[in-house]
Chain A
Amino acid sequence: AVTRRLCILKGIYPHEPKHKKKVNKGSTAARTFYLLKDIKFLLHEPIVNKFREYKVFVRKLRKAYGKSEWSTVDRLKDNKPSYKLDHIVKERYPTFIDALRDLDDALSMCFLFSTFPRTGKCHVQTIQLCRRLAVEFLNYVIASRSLRKVFLSIKGIYYQAEVLGQPVTWITPYTFAHDHPTDVDYRVMATFTEFYTTLLGFVNFRLYHSLNLLYPPKIDVQADVELKPAEGKEYAMDSESYLEKLSALSASLARVVAPTHEDDVEMDEFPVEGETAEQMDARKKEQEALEKHKKLFEGLRFFLNREVPREPLAFIIRCFGGQVSWDKSLCIGATYDVSDPSITHQIVDRPRVEQQVVGRYYLQPQWVFDSVNAKLCLPMADYFPGVLLPPHLSPFVTEQEGDYIPPEKLKLLAMQRGENPDEESEEEDEEEEEEEDDNDKEEEEEEDESEKEEEMKLKKMEEQKTQSNKALPVKVTAGKLRLEDRQRVEQEQQSEEKRLAIMMMKKREKYLYKKIMFGKKRKVREANKLAAKRKAHDTAVKEEKKKSKKARRA
């Protein structure tokens, strides 16, 4: 168990030996092999001694308990040996960028642990620490406005932020109680979490300092003052309410240096050698788009209904510059009330809204997510309460050529390009799709066709010959002008050449080639299958619509 913990903490992983049979003394049974060097490296770790001390401590404590020497127990507990993982973090990640690259798992784990109940499974301190670190990180993302993509999956909510140029992705579960599985070893997870919390703490510290924010974070005094009257009365102890206020994500954070200018100084341009003007322009454009994306919800005031998941939505809206509030009884940190006339959007997840207030949009939460992914505020008609929502697409998929692209994505892409999404475009899309399908089919059939045609030609020639041989006194029929499709012929010739060349390939290369081609074909097949499914679905929906119309008329 100690070795396992050490391996986890130090990031030692097994290796696949080059010659498995030789290493395994002739047997081919599955075993894990570590490098001898790695194990020796583990032995040099000072933390090994701490583990030993802890073992001794446990032994002493047990003995004292057994003898009922309570004063000894107290003394021992006071001097409980503890260890720090700072040096391991530094050793594993010699540079800050390395640490950022490995942050995905750490964040996901911390977010998971912060949702655990305070009983059982692991120490309360761990859970609290995880919660604190997670909230701190969220606050950093808000402050730096670095969130890029969000995705509502059936597993949880994915977020992707760009921290110092590194994409950091994490997943948070939906806020429900976990039914703890029995076949999971929580000790392994706890060991990982131990390391991850240390790592995340240091990363947070560094990140906060990079933004000139105080760490541990303090809520901005101004905002604090604003908050106070909203609270009304004593809510909880100061120490507790601090974290809760922080986790409400509604207040901005205090800075070490008072913020002088909101707007950043214009970036100086340094023309890099070997970069053409086009590239420069493209970069500039990208930069502008990014800035625009960051200010997506600027000036909008949101109100979250109580059935809406508060934390993710508040986080996202604040990340893009929007103002957000919620019912006072739902959570601390609400800044304005439902009745506030300045509210522009109210997020609702109910089929119907009673008592609609004029002057604000009532929207389903998916609008926020889709807008963020589309980098523009989408038309709201599709997202009114009770309306059948358009599909929620994953922002992490970048379609390459030949992949299947769902029509919604095509529409979205068109919208991003600035075309107005009319029905025409829809039809076009469909047509395009059909064309694509046809092309695919053609490609598939081409080979067969070419062969068939050849045969046909031969047959024709034969027939002609036999006819000419057999029946001499037959009248001459007018010959049909054969349209020689030059391109076609050329293509055929090329394909035949290719086939002949493939015959001459070496065995190994032929195998590889066949494998690659198989993979490509499978991809095409899958794409076709999806397209066909979509088509079938669309026609079914259309027919249903027609039927309902008829029914209405009748």
Chain B
Amino acid sequence: PCPPLSPPPSAPLQDIRNTVGNIPMEWYQDFPHIGYDLEGKRIYKPIRNKDELDMFLEKMENPDYWRTVQDKMTGADIKLTDEQVDLVHRLQKGQFGDVHFNPYEPAVDFFTHEVMIHPVTNRPVDKRSFIPSLIEKEKVSKLVHAIKMGWIKPRKPKDDTPTYYDLWAHEDPNSILGRHKMHVPAPKMKLPGHEESYNPPPEYLLSEEEKLAWEQQEPAERKLNFVPQQYRCLRAVPAYSRFIHERFERCLDLYLCPRQRKMRVNVDPEDLIPKLPKPRDLQPFPTTQALVYRGHTSLVRCISISPSGQWLVSGSDDCTVRFWEVCTARCMKTLPVGGVVKSVAWNPNPTICLVAICVEQSVLLVNPCLGDKLLYGATDQLLESYVAPEEERVQPVQWVTATMEEHGKGVRLVVQHSKAVKQVTWHGKGDYFASVVSDNSNMQVLIHQTSKRWSQNPFRKSKGLVQCVLFHPIRPYFFVATQRYVRVYNLLKQELTKKLMTNCKWVSSMAIHPGGDNVICGSYDSKLAWFDLDLSTRPYQLLRHHKKALRGVAFHKHYPLFASGSDDGTVIVCHGMVYNDLLQNPLLVPVKVLKGHVLTLDLGILDVLFHPTQPWVFSSGADGTVRLYT
């Protein structure tokens, strides 16, 4: 309703009226012009290059700033005249725009309220205006008839109160639907305990820290959804502010919570424990620590025992090999070898007194000169009786006879390998032995023959990092343990017979049952796998007895015992009965946990070994001791 602003007085001179019409002026936002004048020429937007400061200065300096507005149509600044300002004021006050308009003029009726003597129109009155309506009469008569006939009844006052009756008067079993059998009734609300009382025993009140902990917990995690409080009398108990909330939550639970029948495991924990034969009935087995062999200054990596069971050899990181008498724990001999001893192995043949020792890149064959003089003399003779073959054969290793000085210490032969040797193990007959070289090529495993001083490389290809090797005690089989598998080779046929999956991450050690049909593998992921070679290539049982990595496993020669030593400093002796009957599975029962070694450098027990005849077990540990448990 606002009248268009008349152009300023100077307008007639240059009439810049915009011809674009009543359109949103934003359409011209991006153009340099703002419309077209009467002649169809563009009206350009006035140049506006005032910044904030200029605007401010103008605001402060220009006295007419307040009455300057921008014409939207032309973009020009217009100074409002006094009349226009007045108009704006009036409109703001809600008055009429025109000064001269009087809104309170006396009203003039269109028809005068005074009754005139003459009618306005001269039309005669209708007949229907003075006789009763027929249609209405008809309607009324209809209603009257309906009332007479009883079709229409007066409204009854409505009774809102619900009526109750004996709903369960006839309880028929047929009305129990199938649904009811499926129905899971909502569990009832938990009944309140002592802590909810208004005056609970003092021990149920929360202490300060408990209260703090309660406040910091998530509301869903809290064990109690309220803070227990004590009031001195019933009068002091206030209303519970979350009462409606709790009822509402219960409602939500009732109709939004999935219901499910959960079978609670209701077992007596004692029933879960398997019924095993009592260890007492499985005797003999080592039970107590009997002897400690002290002498080594560093960790004892490996031990081995003479076939007679009288002597024990141990190799340590202090670059010595010590020979002990088993029964007295006396160190009979110390042999400095000038390197870390990785493995020692006593020749299992009772007629030969020879120990193989791995020192760095060589395997030393040492005659310890202990025991029967005839015996070790015979061994020396046997070694000296070697006659070099006529033609030199190319060998992967070098056989060197010991120098005189070494000979004096007992070293007889040195088998020099190209790389460091990890392990050495004898064949049961005592002539062959195998050594494992830490290498990645096919030269990892070498088999040597002592009597002929001859070595051979059995494998053409490397199948992974070999951890340890073993000869089968009876048959011509050869076990090679890589990180995850144990391969069984037939040496006669020169073929792979079996590949055992250990289900472990990294095999550390391996031992074979004297019967030859069962193998145990210890691994660094603290598992011990028992294989029954006749049964399958997967472990018959995985035993997780130790808490830390296993480093050594051993079988007893005669008794149904096996032991495992681990980094947690314990030796666990298990009863492992293998039956001759093929149908009966081996019986594995742990019988004793032996402790004694002190953990050093996070290492516990590095090797375990059984006495060949007695039910005794030796363990060598990182604390520089060898211990005997009987």
Contact = CB atoms under 8 A, between A and B. Distances in A.
Interface in B241-267: 241-248, 250-252, 254-260, 265, 267
6 contacts: A90-B167, A102-B186, A154-B196, A177-B239, A394-B197, A458-B596
Judged by DSSP, the binding face of B is loop
A498 B251 CA distance: 48
A533 B188 CA distance: 31
A181 interface: yes
Given A184-B245, A206-B168, A396-B193, A173 B240 contact: yes
Contacts of A209: 166
A14 B257 contact: yes
A502 to B, nearest CB: 6
B204 interface: yes
B590 A503 contact: yes
A153 B589 contact: no
A315 interface: no
B393 interface: no
A13 B254 contact: yes
Given A95-B168, A101-B185, A155-B246, A406 B196 contact: no
B566 to A, nearest CB: 13
Complex A-B, nearest 7 residue pairs according to Cβ-Cβ distance, in ascending order: A176-B239, A396-B191, A534-B203, A533-B203, A391-B201, A16-B258, A153-B196
A197 B160 CA distance: 14
Interface in A507-525: 507, 509, 512-513, 516-517, 520
A32 interface: yes
A13 B259 contact: yes
A498 B240 contact: no
A154 B235 CA distance: 12
Given A204-B164, A512-B272, A15 B255 contact: no
A505 B278 CA distance: 15
B263 to A, nearest CB: 13
Nearest to A121: B244
Interface stretch (A57-65, A105-113, A337-345): A105-113
Interface stretch (B173-181, B317-325, B412-420, B454-462): B173-181
Given A389-B233, A406-B194, A497-B278, A112 B201 contact: no
B101 interface: no
A487 interface: no
Contacts of B232: 388-389
Given A105-B250, A154-B198, A389-B199, A458 B235 contact: no
A189 B248 contact: yes
A455 interface: yes
Contacts of B38: none
A198 interface: yes
A129 interface: yes
Given A176-B239, A391-B201, 18 more contacts: A4-B255, A13-B256, A13-B258, A78-B158, A84-B162, A105-B186, A151-B197, A153-B197, A154-B196, A174-B240, A184-B245, A189-B247, A201-B164, A365-B234, A366-B234, A389-B233, A498-B273, A502-B273
A51 interface: no
A178 B239 contact: yes
Q: Assign chain B's interface to a size class.
A: 35 or more
B196 A112 contact: no
Interface in A59-105: 78, 84, 86, 89-91, 93-96, 99, 101-102, 104-105
Nearest to B173: A94
Given A155-B226, A173-B239, A185-B248, A534 B258 contact: no
A505 B183 CA distance: 38
A380 interface: no
B155 interface: yes
A414 interface: no
B219 to A, nearest CB: 13
Interface in A375-419: 388-389, 391-394, 396-397, 406-408
A351 B388 CA distance: 117
A36 interface: no
Given A104-B188, A209-B166, A174 B239 contact: yes
A19 to B, nearest CB: 14
B252 to A, nearest CB: 7
Contact of B194 (A90, A394, A458): A394
Contacts of A408: 201
A500 interface: yes
A192 interface: yes
Interface in B197-215: 197-204, 207
Nearest to A35: B182
A497 B258 CA distance: 45
Contacts of A499: 593
Contacts of A158: 191-192
B434 to A, nearest CB: 34
B106 interface: no
Contact of B243 (A7, A125, A178, A462): A178
Contacts of B595: 454-455
Contact of B289 (A104, A173, A462): A462
B332 interface: no
B292 interface: yes
B259 A15 contact: yes
A476 interface: no
Contacts of B194: 391, 393-394, 397, 406
B590 A154 contact: no
Contact of A192 (B245, B254, B543): B254
Given A180-B244, A392-B197, A7 B255 contact: yes
Given A151-B197, A154-B226, A500 B276 contact: yes
Interface of B: 155, 158, 160-162, 164-168, 171, 175-177, 179-180, 183-186, 188-189, 191-194, 196-204, 207, 226, 228-229, 231-235, 237-248, 250-252, 254-260, 265, 267, 269, 272-276, 278-280, 288-289, 291-292, 543-545, 572, 588-593, 595-596
Counting chain A CB atoms within 10 Å of each CB, the highest count among B155, B226, B251, B572 belongs to B251
Nearest to B288: A458
A394 B243 contact: no
A394 B251 contact: no
A94 B191 contact: no
A155 B265 contact: no
A551 interface: no
Nearest to A493: B280
B628 to A, nearest CB: 12
A26 to B, nearest CB: 20
Nearest to A132: B161
Given A154-B226, A392-B200, A504-B276, A16 B250 contact: no
Contacts of A178: 239, 243-244
B200 A462 contact: no
A500 B591 contact: yes
A200 to B, nearest CB: 9
B203 A396 contact: no
Given A174-B239, A500-B593, A534-B201, A516 B260 contact: no
B288 A102 contact: no
A23 to B, nearest CB: 12
Given A155-B240, A178-B244, A169 B188 contact: yes
Counting chain A CB atoms within 10 Å of each CB, the highest count among B164, B171, B279 belongs to B164
A454 B251 CA distance: 60
A349 B235 contact: yes
Contacts of A530: 203-204
A396 B185 contact: no
Contacts of B240: 154-156, 173-174
Contacts of B184: 13
Contacts of A54: none
Interface in A183-215: 183-185, 188-189, 192, 197-198, 201-202, 204-206, 209, 215
Contacts of B231: 154
A498 B279 CA distance: 11
B292 A512 contact: no
A538 to B, nearest CB: 8
